Amino acid sequence: MRKDVLIAGFGGQGVLLAGNLLSYAAIDEGKNVSYFPAYGVEKRGGSATCTVVIADGAVGSPVVGQPSVLVVLNQASLERFGARVRPGGILIVNSSLVDVSALGRSDINVVPVAMNDIATDLGDPRMVNMVALGAYVALTDAVQLPSLVAALSQALPERNHRFIPANVKAIETGAEAAMAKKEA
Amino acid sequence: MSKRLFVKGNEAAAMGAVEAGCRYYFGYPITPQSDIPEYLSRELPGLNGEFIQAESEIGAINMLLGASATGARAMTSSSSPGISLKQEGISYMAGAELPGVIINISRSGPGLGGIDASQSDYFQSVKGGGHGGYHIPVLAPNSVQEMYDLTMHAFDLADLYRTPVMLLGDSVIGQMKEALIANPRPVRELPAKGWAVRGKGGAEQRVVKSLFLGDGELEAHNWRLHAKYQVMKEKECISEEYETADARLIVTGFGSVSRIAHTAVTMARAEGMKVGLFRPVTLFPFPEQALAQAAARAGKVLVVELNTGQMVEDVRLSVGAAAQVAFYGRPPGAGSLPSPEELLEVIRKNYEGSAR
């Protein structure tokens, strides 16, 4: 088993935290993982991406040219990476902010999830990354949902542990939303 | 088995240094290696050690020289332009035969260049970056685990051969996070530091220096250093091979690019091409013999580097006429990292030309 995902958005959307959380969960499941971040010098804004590879055997390249799954949180990331998704792969897109109509790819499975709307409904738009991650895990089984929930205490600094219940809810809601789209 | 941690490459190197008994760090911050001083500034004071943010890289390397002269395990780290500034000190340490570990999480150059992953410091690292014709062992980790393990190994080599040792990585290796098993430092028999200057205390005077003015003294010193390098070449080469046994094409590269090549080789195998990967772990001493053997079996070697061609020269010297040598380089710059798919394409082209 070797799974790779590129998560991309703008700085401040929690892309790196999402990648970290996924990696912690995979490590707790005994898998091999590489997490490779790339981001601008800005604290907010600019581009933020991370590539996570999860494997039973050797991870190999932490750099992925054609990800099997791309999660895009903003329009710029779709334009930059949309063409790169491996044929037959999955594009999970934050349809609250991103318009995929001009993408022109019929060879991949596009799953729109209104991540910002869902996160806002749950009380905080900043949980958009958790909604995205829930959707990713539901669609790919890269890790088990309970592993992701259990890893929150490792990925978040202690001062933010009080937000764990809300984040769990965001992960679960993202997962449900993605499954509903998949079945639709 | 101890717990699998999830840490950055830079942090793993700092953890390896602490586990190796390093208690003194001198450095000056620079991206993409500042996690190393950050970690050590937090940890060393509590371990009865000392962390000093020096006034400059030149200050830091000379503090390392001083600490090392007392026999203590000590290190510095920086990135390419900072490492250039340290070259004078490294030359003095090599001349005075002082141990010490220098980590270069390199940027791209020349000059101020950029912060992207690059391997343009190969020549500087392995060919004696400072003046005077010396060599130092250079280790090239390609994983977070190796950042930890090879840092510990670097301290042992430094003490074993009384030499500075360099760890050469880039932003991929330094910034990437992977699982780490923080194993205890391996037990290795090391020579006593009978040369260390710690205050005479009534004993015989000891002098640590790189100045040799006596008749024939410097020549003898140089021959002795040369002999030391020959022993390193004999005993300290490390390399790793993947799918090389029946390969008709050997891909070779070090550090970050070897990880990308590993996946490209796996993809090539899936297409039925007999391709293998040879990875030098020590860049000095260069694993000449192991590479020569693998290359002679295959008949062709493809060198992949994140520069316009440096290690390829050592590859050519190693394999001689026994194999054809091809080169694929990606000079530094944003977006310059090749993907496994791109390397696969390069492998395809080179494989067609090598089928016997």
Measured between CB atoms, which of B175, B259, B337 is closest to A37? B175
Residue B272 is given by DSSP the state T
Residues in chain A with CB shorter than 8 Å from the CB of B257 are none
Cβ-based interface (< 8 Å): residues of A facing B:
20, 23-24, 27, 32-37, 58-66, 154
Q: Is B218 left (phi over 0), alpha (psi -120 to 50) or beta?
A: alpha
Q: Residue B34: count other Cβ atoms within 10 Å of its Cβ.
A: 18
Q: Which of A19-28, A33-42, B217-226 has the lowest mean pLDDT?
A: A33-42
Query: Can you give the pLDDT at residue B24?
Result: 98
- The predicted pLDDT at position A138 comes to 96
Option in B4, B172, B175 nearest A27 (CB): B4
Binary contact (A66, B6; C-beta < 8 A): no
| Cis preceding linkage at A157, omega within 30 | no
Of A20, A27, A64, the CB nearest to B179: A27
pLDDT at A41: 63
Chain A residues lying within 8 Å of B172, measured CB to CB: 36, 62-63
Query: Is residue A165 packed enough to be buried (19+ CB in 10 Å), middle (13-18) or exposed (0-12)?
Result: exposed
Q: Is A179 exposed, middle or buried (0-12, 13-18, 19+ CB in 10 A)?
A: middle
pLDDT tens for residues A15-32?
A: 999 999 999 999 999 999
Q: B353 pLDDT band (50/70/90 cuts)?
A: low
* Higher per-residue pLDDT: A1 or A106: A106
Give yes or no for residue B356 having a pLDDT over 60. Answer: no
| Average pLDDT taken over every residue of chain A | 94
Is the CB of B340 less than 8 angstroms away from the CB of A61? Answer: yes
Measure the CA–CA gap between B352 and B355, rounded to whole angstroms: 6
Each residue of B168-202: pLDDT tens digit?
999 999 999 999 999 999 999 999 999 999 998 88
Residues of B in contact with A58 (CB under 8 A): 262
> Residue A89 pLDDT > 90, yes or no?
yes
Reported ipTM: 0.93
Residue B339 to residue A33, Cβ atoms within 8 A: no
- Residue A45 φ/ψ, nearest 5 degrees: 75, -170
**Chain A interface disruption, residue of B177, B341, B347, most A CBs within 10 A:** B177
Report the residue of chain B nearest A21, measured CA to CA: B6
Cα separation, B45 vs B261, whole angstroms: 41
- Buried b / exposed e over B183-216, threshold 16 CB at 10 Å, is eeeeeeeeeebeeeeeeeeeeeeeebebeeeeee
| B110 upstream amide cis, omega within 30 of 0 | yes
Q: Do A63 and B259 touch (CB under 8 A)?
A: yes
Test mutation, A32, A56, A61, chain B, max B CBs within 10 A: A61
Interface contact flag, B177 A20, Cβ < 8 Å: yes
Q: Domains of chain B (ranges plus CATH)?
A: 4-195+210-235 (3.40.50.970), 239-352 (3.40.50.920)
The partner residue sitting opposite B262, judged by closest CB among A33, A35, A60, is A60
The minimum CA-CA distance between B339 and chain A, rounded to whole Å, is 5
Q: How do residues B258-309 score in pLDDT, each as one tens digit?
A: 999 999 999 999 999 999 999 999 999 999 999 999 999 999 999 999 999 9
In angstroms, the separation between the Cα of residue B265 and the nearest Cα of chain A is 10
How close B301 comes to chain A (CA, Å)?
20
Provide the pLDDT for residue B112. Answer: 87
- pLDDT reported for residue B1: 52
Nearest to B6 among A24, A59, A62 (CB): A24
For the residues B79-98, what does the mean pLDDT come to?
Answer: 98
Q: Which residue of A has its CA nearest to B344?
A: A65
The predicted structure's pLDDT at residue B354: 63
Structure tokens at A83: 């063409």
Question: What CA–CA distance (Å, rounded) separates A112 from A174?
Answer: 11
B6 touches chain A (CB under 8 A): yes
Mutate to test the interface with A, among B263, B277, B339, B342 (most CBs of A within 10 A): B263
Mean pLDDT of chain B: 96
Mean pLDDT, to the nearest integer, of A139-160?
A: 96
For B3, which residue in chain A has the nearest alpha carbon?
A: A28
Residue A182 — pLDDT band, cuts 50, 70, 90? confident
Of B334, B235, B240, which Cα lies nearest the Cα of B291?
B240
Strands (E), A13-123: 32-39, 45-55, 69-72, 90-94, 109-113
Asked whether the beta carbons of B231 and B162 are under 8 A apart, the reply is no
Q: Is the pLDDT of residue B57 over 70?
A: yes
Give pLDDT, residue B323: 96
Between CA B74 and CA B68 the distance in angstroms is 6
CB distance B134 to B69 below 8 Å: no
The pLDDT, as a whole number, for residue B126 is 98
Residues of A in contact with B341 (CB under 8 A): 65-66
- The confidence score (pLDDT) of residue A40 equals 67
Which residues have CB under 8 Å from B241's CB, separation 6+?
B276, B277, B278, B279, B290, B294
Interface of B with A in 168-187 (CB under 8 A): 172, 175-179
CB pairs under 8 A between A and B: 63
Residue-level pLDDT at A43: 61
pLDDT bracket for residue A44 (50, 70, 90): low
How much is the average pLDDT of B99-104?
A: 98
Kindly report the nearest CA distance between residue A162 and chain B, in angstroms: 22
- Domain over A2-183 is classified CATH 3.30.420.60: no
pLDDT band, very low/low/confident/very high, at A42 (cuts 50, 70, 90): low
**Which residues of chain A have a CB within 8 Å of the CB of B260?**
60-61, 63
Q: Where are the domains of chain A?
A: 2-183
Task: Quote the pLDDT of residue B109.
Answer: 87
